A and B are shown apart, each in its own frame.
Chain A
Amino acid sequence: MSETFQLDGNAVPFEPGQTVMQAALAAGNYIPHLCYHPEFKPHGSCKLCTVKVNGRTVASCTMPAEAGLNVESDIEELNALRRTLVQMLFAEGNHFCPSCEKSGNCVLQALGYDLEVHTAGFRHLYPDRPVDASHPDILLDFNRCILCELCVRASSEVDGKNVFALSGRGITKHLIVNAESGLLKDTDIALADKAMQVCPVGVILHKRVGFSQPIGKRRFDIRPISAQALDDAPRQADASGSCAACEGAP
């Protein structure tokens, strides 16, 4: 009989070593998140998963589960803050959903839908971020990067290649490619790499398959992201490297 904590008034069982996020998702309780991925160590940077634990705000993806914790997540105070975070991400990059082939499979967009974000609201920055189309099979569209570092982590921890990194500080922070030329074609990235599958937005794209699944029939068109908690429950990467939470496997 495992121990439990309280999440929005419901008892959630957990295994020793699990975080609040992991236990909640495994029990089918959704907590909004962007930079958390079920196969990676938590990162704690996007802050979408912020919850109140015994009255204190913490990132649920890094908070160890403990018996008797009182966790509040789906409350207007936190959802309002999450809405603002999503809005700032939309205003900071160039997120033009109608022309993005990730639309419908995009976690940032799905969070916007779920939180009823009708507008980014802030003054848009419209940054100048040229795409990298140098690789024959892979397109990098930096305009949509939200700096979650999932591709950085996947490339280093799973693929053992260190293709990606973040460079710069503050508003100048950006995703870079680890090659002398700075171009993806000069790396050893391959289509089967984990780094190809984990981008929550539309930065890392497999060329020529973008619309094989029509707009309107995609993951978050079918069901809201909040109804898909179990897909993000903790697990080991399977042999083929595919996962339900990743974009439709190529």
Chain B
Amino acid sequence: MSKKLRVATTSLAGCFGCHMSFLDIDERLFPLLELVEFDRSPLTDIKHCGPCDIGIVEGGICNAENVHVLREFRKNCKILIAIGACAINGGLPAQRNHLDLGSCMTEVYLTEPGLAHGHIPNDPELPLPLDKVHPLHEVVKIDYFIPGCPPSGDAIWKFLTDLIAGKTPELGHGRIKYD
């Protein structure tokens, strides 16, 4: 291949479990690095995304900063992939969606025993939480989804190698998991 594909990754309202699982492709990282190079990613510590071929986003959208980062990825990435349960349906953070955000904050920071004289954090550096947690596809167009919590290293490898080979990615039994 004459030119390496440029890949960016990030974790929004996620736990970095999908990134850890990505590292579970183990020694296959070496053949992968023959084909791709990394732009913005926890692996490179590059802070902003440049023009990329593939963007991989873990986690859902729970605050204003998540929206900005996701839009930066969409703007710069030809192909955008949602990876993991949270990116796909909101996952664990979305289990607050049937609750009122204000009463969540009140309970966590004010009325929960052991937090006497606490206050709801209001530092201007903190991104404002959204009323609801959203899957990525409700905010920008997503091209592909890799389900799992997290998807296994094998699932990620199969998906990415199919995609890089120009095939429609298929996971198949044992690699497609929602849990």
Q: Which residues of A contact B (CB under 8 A)?
A: 90, 94-100, 103-104, 109, 112-114, 116, 118-121, 123-124, 126-129, 215, 221, 223-224
Q: Chain B contacts of A99 at CB under 8 A?
A: 92, 95
The interface-forming segment of B2-10, B45-53, B61-69, B141-149 is: B141-149
Which residues of A have CB within 8 Å of B90?
Answer: 124, 126
What distance in Å separates the Cβ of B24 from its nearest Cβ neighbour in chain A? Answer: 15
CB pair B138–A103 under 8 Å, yes or no, is: no
Tell whether, in the assembled complex, residue A98 and residue B89 are in contact, meaning their CB atoms are under 8 Å apart.
no
Interface of B, helix, strand, loop or mixed by DSSP: loop
Is B137 an interface residue when CB atoms closer than 8 A count as contact? yes
CA A120 – CA B89 in complex, angstroms?
7
Cβ A113 vs Cβ B91 within 8 A: no
- Indicate whether B35 reaches chain A with its CB closer than 8 angstroms: no
Contact with A along B135-175 (1 / 0, CB 8 A): 10110001011110100000000000000000000111110
B178 pairs with A109, CB closer than 8 A: yes
Asked if residues B137 and A119 are in contact (CB atoms below 8 Å), the reply is: yes
- B88: chain A residues at CB < 8 Å are 118-120
24 residue pairs of the A-B complex, CB under 8 angstroms, read: A96-B85, A96-B89, A96-B92, A96-B94, A97-B85, A97-B149, A98-B91, A98-B92, A103-B179, A113-B178, A116-B170, A116-B172, A116-B176, A118-B88, A118-B144, A118-B147, A119-B135, A119-B142, A120-B88, A124-B135, A126-B98, A128-B98, A129-B98, A224-B173
CB–CB B147/A98 < 8 A: no
Q: Which of A97, A116, A121, A126 contacts B171 (CB 8 A)?
A: A116
Nearest neighbor of A128 in chain B, beta-carbon distance: B98
B106 interface residue, CB < 8 Å from A? no
Residue in chain B with minimal CB distance to A223? B173
Q: Write the nearest CB–CB distance from B44 to chain A, whole angstroms.
A: 27
Would you call A123 and B138 a contact (CB within 8 A)? yes
Q: Which residues of B contact A (CB under 8 A)?
A: 82, 85, 88-92, 94-95, 97-98, 132, 135, 137-138, 142, 144-147, 149, 170-174, 176-179
Q: Across the two chains, which residue of chain A brings its CB closest to B88?
A: A119
Task: Give the number of residue pairs across the A-B interface with Cβ within 8 Å.
Answer: 75
Which residues from chain B contact A104 at a C-beta distance below 8 Å?
Answer: 179
| A215 cross-chain contacts in B, Cβ below 8 A | 179
Which residues of the partner chain A approach B172 to less than 8 Å between Cβ atoms? 116
Q: In the complex, A224→B137 CA distance in Å?
A: 28
Q: How far is the CB of A216 from chain B (nearest CB, A)?
A: 8
Question: Which residues on the B side are within 8 Å of A123 (C-beta)?
Answer: 138
Contact A119 B85, CB 8 Å, known A98-B92, A127-B98: no
Which residue on chain B has the smallest CB distance to residue A225?
A: B173
Name the CB-closest residue of B to A91.
B89
- Could you say which residues of chain B place their CB within 8 Å of the CB of A96? 85, 89, 91-92, 94-95
Q: Are A126 and B178 in contact (CB under 8 A)?
A: no
Bound complex: CA A123 to CA B61 (Å): 13
- Which 3 pairs, one residue from A and one from B, show the smallest C-beta to C-beta distance? A97-B178, A98-B149, A128-B98
Determine how close the nearest CB of chain B comes to the CB of A249; give it in whole angstroms: 22
Q: Write out the residue numbers on chain B whose beta carbons fall within 8 Å of the beta carbon of A97.
A: 85, 149, 178-179
A126 close to B94 (CB less than 8 A): yes
Complex Cα–Cα for A123 and B171 (A): 24
- A225 CA / B40 CA spacing, docked (Å): 40
Q: Contacting A98 at CB < 8 Å: which of B85, B171, B173?
A: B85
Using known A-B contacts A103-B178, A103-B179, determine if residue A119 contacts B147 with beta carbons closer than 8 Å.
Answer: yes
Tell me which residues across on chain A come within 8 A of B91, comparing CB atoms: 96, 98
Chain A residues contacting B98 (CB-CB under 8 Å) are 94, 126-129
